[in-house]
Structure 1
Amino acid sequence: MHRIWKSFRALYFASLLMLIGSGLLSTYLGLRLAADKTDSIWVGALMAANYFGLVLGGKLGHRLIARVGHIRAYVTCAGVVTAAVLGHGLIDWLPAWIVLRAIVGLGMMCQYMVIESWLNEQADASQRGLVFSGYMIASYLGLVLGQLVLVLHPALGLELLMLVALCFALCLVPVAVTRKIHPAPMHPAPLEPRFFIKRVPQSLTTTLVSGLVIGAFYGLAPLYASRLGLSTQQVGLFMGCCILAGLVVQWPLGWLSDRHDRARLIRGCAFLLVLAALPLALMPSVPLELLFPMGFVVSLLQFSLYPLAVAFSNDHVEGEHRVSLTAILLVTFGIGACLGPLVAGLLMRQLGAHMLFAFVSSCAFILVWRIRPDAVTKLYQVEDAPLHHVAMPDNMTSSPLVAALDPRVDEQIVHDQMQNQPEPSKAPVESSAEPVDEALR
């Protein structure tokens, strides 16, 4: 593992800085609007715009990378994101903030695509699992550190926006100064929605609900905590605690997922999430000593849904479709993440802040109702399923290219799929023959 960290430290550090900035920006905007007594629907709209930009970036990022190359695309997007972040401090008009938030999401998705395609090309096939784990740890750690910045600097002034911009400006340095030749561009993976709706409907349902819940959480949890009377430092600690739960749950979740029926695990997690979120939904005011442990438990469960949906769907989709599967799962997640903050924000405006967790509990109940383990026919189950569970990011901190880092995806299958796309002028991604020690520095 030490060799992996040493070889890919530049990309991991760039990811860390990106996520520190992204995590801090989301919470800062929520708290800033809460301090200004802004309607919760605007807070939800800002987060919805961010996810809309991420989904849009998944389509446009390929074109930009193909036109100017990975390094120039990354530097360009980092510059645009930095400018958009600073724009929040220059313009005090909420519709403009929504546009800027979408630009931030779009630019970040392109940055994810550059980093993940680079990791894919430089990682040896036998090390993909470890490389991906390092990437996931750097991403989660960045999100947590972004929240802890509020503990050290609770004032909601422009200094925090400047710090976010600083993170996005510095994250381009490790990529811009590399001496390595950038990897070959990948073609967009076809979405094939009809194929996957027929093949893995329950996984898509779980992914959509997960998007609803996670989008609402990232967008409105800071507002919820603020309306409970928590200080800025306490909101930062609360958000950091909840996001940390998303990292902590991944490895025990993988152990359970490899040993038990995944459809039953999804339904079981959803049922427990209904029960865990219900007290917070029924209590307009929650003591601090209860809020943190209850929020941690809710986060453990809500951050389990997307990884389980990914693992469950991979059991029923052949290897040549798995890059496309990741793309459709992320688009489905993004649709849910756009709608979740808007619906939850409307409920919070009408009925109070605690409606955030009423929304979470209701979404989880939909999964308890819709997920039917007995309805899984196993007609399309791949050989030797269930496949080994791979801990996946459970928010939009990745692109469709992350599927190439999944060790369950055979490199030659991915190569053949990319080669058969209708744009022969773009070279497909091929696994690098260089050893891991010669990776990007």
Structure 2
Amino acid sequence: MHQIWKSFRALYFASLMMLIGSGLLSTYLALRLAADNVDGLWIGALMAANYFGLVLGGKIGHRLIARVGHIRAYATCAGIVGAAVLCHGLTDWLPIWLLLRVIVGLGMMCQYMVIESWLNEQAEARQRGVVFSLYMIASYLGLVLGQLILAVHPQLGLELLMVVALCFALCLVPVAMTRRIHPAPLHPAPMDPKFFIKRVPQSLIAVMGAGLLVGSFYGLAPLYASQQGLSTELVGLYMGSCIFAGLLVQWPLGWLSDRYDRPLLIRIFAGLLAVAALPLAILPAVPMQVLFIAGCLAALLQFCIYPLAVAFANDHIEPERRVSLTAMLLVTYGVGASVGPLVAGVLMKLFGSQMLYGFFSVAGLILVWRIRPNAVTNLHQVDDAPLHHVAMPDSMSSSPLVAALDPRVDEQVVQEQMVQEPMVEEQEPEPEPESKT
């Protein structure tokens, strides 16, 4: 593992800096608007705009990288993101902030695509799982450290925007100075929504539910904690603790996922989330100890749903379609993460801040209702299913190319899909029996 870390430490450092900046920016904007008594609808809209930018970047990133190359694309996006971050300090007009959040999301997605394609190009097949795990750790650790900066510097001045811009400037250095060979040119993975909706409908429902939950959490949990009376330092600790709990649960979750029925696990975790969020949903004010315990438990359960849904979908998709599947999952997650903060923001405005956790509880109950293990026919289950569970970073910190790092995906298939010239559109597949996974 030490040799792998040494080989890829520049890219891991770049990912770490990006996520520190991204995590700090999201919480800073929420707290800044809360301090100005802006309602939660605007705060939710800012997070929705960020996810819209991430989804948009998944399309634009391929073209940009193909036109100017990986290093130039990364440098361009890092510069644009840094400038967009600093522009938040030049104006308080919220429609401009919405546009800036779209730009930040779009630029970061292009940066993810460069890093992930580079990792995939340089990683040997036998190293792929470790490379992937270290990348996930760097991503989550960056999100946690971004929150903890608020505990060190609680003043909500322009200094924090400078810190975010500094992170995006520093993430540029290791990529710009690399002596590694450029990765192969990228081409978009073909996406066939009709096929995936027919083949893995329950997986897509679970992924959209995860987007609703996690998007609302990142965007509005700082506002909720602030309105519970927590200081800026404690809001940073609260967010950092919740995200860290989501990281720690990934490994025991993998053990469960490889041994028990995955749709049943999704349903169980969704039901537990509905129960865990209930105290914070019912009580308008709770003691700080209860807030931290219940909040971390709810976040832990939220972060379980996405990787389980991804593993569930991969069990029913052939290897040659898994890169396309990841693109489909990203779009589905992005739709959920764009809608969730808006709906939760409206509920918080109308009925109080505790409605954020009321929204979590209702979303968990909907997943319990819609995910039906008995409806899974297994008609299209791959021969070696269930595949080995892989802890997945959420789509706030990954791109469609993250599938290329997934050791469940055949390396040769990945290479062919990433470097091949666009093919003539395939004929419409023959109708297949519905699998309802």
Would you call these one fold, judging by a TM-score over 0.5?
Answer: yes
Amino acid aligned to 2:2: H
Tell me how far 1:160 sits from its aligned partner.
Answer: 0.3
Amino acid aligned to 2:350: Q
Indicate yes or no: 2:172 matched with 1:172: yes
Amino acid aligned to 2:42: W
Equivalent position of 1:87 in the other structure:
87
Equivalent position of 2:407 in the other structure:
407
Deviations 1:240-290 (A, max 9, x none): 000001100100000000000001000000110110011110010011011
Equivalent position of 2:236 in the other structure:
236
Tell me how far 1:420 sits from its aligned partner.
Answer: 5.2
The answer to whether the 8 Å contact 1:254/1:391 transfers is yes
Indicate yes or no: 2:320 matched with 1:316: no
The answer to whether the 8 Å contact 2:187/2:420 transfers is no
TM, length-normalised to structure 2: 0.96
Equivalent position of 1:289 in the other structure:
289
Distance in 2, matches of 1:119 and 1:129, equals 12
Distance in 2, matches of 1:281 and 1:153, equals 30
Indicate yes or no: 2:290 matched with 1:301: no
Distance in 2, matches of 1:418 and 1:171, equals 25
Equivalent position of 1:205 in the other structure:
205
Amino acid aligned to 2:26: S
Distance in 1, matches of 2:80 and 2:383, equals 45
Structural mapping, 1:261-276, within 5 Å: 261-276=261-276
Deviations 1:11-48 (A, max 9, x none): 00000000000000000000000000001100000000
Distance in 2, matches of 1:261 and 1:423, equals 37
Tell me how far 1:396 sits from its aligned partner.
Answer: 1.8
Distance in 2, matches of 1:419 and 1:288, equals 52
Q: Give secondary structure in 1 for the equivalent of 2:97.
A: helix
Tell me how far 1:414 sits from its aligned partner.
Answer: 2.1
Task: Mark the CA change 1:418 to 1:233 in structure 2 (over 3 Å): closer, same or farther.
Answer: closer
Q: Give secondary structure in 2 for the equivalent of 1:409.
A: coil
Runs (4+) of structure 1 exceeding 6 A deviation are none
Equivalent position of 1:334 in the other structure:
334
Tell me how far 1:292 sits from its aligned partner.
Answer: 0.6
Equivalent position of 2:435 in the other structure:
none
Structural mapping, 1:142-157, within 5 Å: 142-157=142-157
Distance in 2, matches of 1:418 and 1:117, equals 9
The answer to whether the 8 Å contact 1:323/1:403 transfers is yes
Distance in 1, matches of 2:283 and 2:418, equals 52
Distance in 2, matches of 1:313 and 1:275, equals 26
Tell me how far 1:93 sits from its aligned partner.
Answer: 0.6
Equivalent position of 1:118 in the other structure:
118
Equivalent position of 1:381 in the other structure:
381
Equivalent position of 2:432 in the other structure:
none
Tell me how far 1:421 sits from its aligned partner.
Answer: 4.4
Q: What is the CA RMSD across the aligned residues, in angstroms?
A: 1.0
Gaps in structure 2 of 5+ consecutive residues: 425-437
Tell me how far 1:98 sits from its aligned partner.
Answer: 0.4
Distance in 2, matches of 1:382 and 1:422, equals 27
Distance in 2, matches of 1:50 and 1:300, equals 23
Amino acid aligned to 2:34: A
Tell me how far 1:135 sits from its aligned partner.
Answer: 0.4
Distance in 2, matches of 1:307 and 1:166, equals 31
The answer to whether the 8 Å contact 1:214/1:395 transfers is no
Distance in 2, matches of 1:187 and 1:395, equals 20
Distance in 1, matches of 2:15 and 2:417, equals 28
Distance in 2, matches of 1:23 and 1:45, equals 16
Deviations 1:60-97 (A, max 9, x none): 00000000000000000000000000000011110000
Q: Give secondary structure in 2 for the equivalent of 1:396.
A: helix
Distance in 1, matches of 2:333 and 2:137, equals 21
Indicate yes or no: 2:307 matched with 1:344: no
Amino acid aligned to 2:348: M
Equivalent position of 2:258 in the other structure:
258
Task: Mark the CA change 1:258 to 1:317 in structure 2 (over 3 Å): closer, same or farther.
Answer: same
What fraction of aligned residue pairs are identical, expressed as a percent? Answer: 75
Gaps in structure 1 of 5+ consecutive residues: 425-441
Tell me how far 1:56 sits from its aligned partner.
Answer: 0.1
Indicate yes or no: 2:365 matched with 1:365: yes
Equivalent position of 1:107 in the other structure:
107
TM, length-normalised to structure 1: 0.95
Q: Give secondary structure in 2 for the equivalent of 1:316.
A: coil
The answer to whether the 8 Å contact 2:109/2:399 transfers is yes
Equivalent position of 1:131 in the other structure:
131
The answer to whether the 8 Å contact 2:326/2:403 transfers is yes
Distance in 1, matches of 2:403 and 2:31, equals 34
The answer to whether the 8 Å contact 2:322/2:409 transfers is yes
Structural mapping, 1:176-191, within 5 Å: 176-191=176-191
Indicate yes or no: 2:39 matched with 1:39: yes
Equivalent position of 2:13 in the other structure:
13
Equivalent position of 1:436 in the other structure:
none
Q: Give secondary structure in 2 for the equivalent of 1:154.
A: coil
Distance in 2, matches of 1:29 and 1:420, equals 41
Distance in 2, matches of 1:58 and 1:46, equals 19
Amino acid aligned to 1:326: T
Amino acid aligned to 1:197: I
Amino acid aligned to 1:380: H
Amino acid aligned to 2:55: V
Distance in 2, matches of 1:274 and 1:394, equals 20
Amino acid aligned to 1:299: A
Tell me how far 1:181 sits from its aligned partner.
Answer: 2.4
The answer to whether the 8 Å contact 1:304/1:394 transfers is no
Equivalent position of 1:438 in the other structure:
none
Distance in 1, matches of 2:251 and 2:421, equals 36
Q: Give secondary structure in 1 for the equivalent of 2:286.
A: coil
Q: Give secondary structure in 2 for the equivalent of 1:304.
A: helix
The answer to whether the 8 Å contact 2:184/2:419 transfers is no
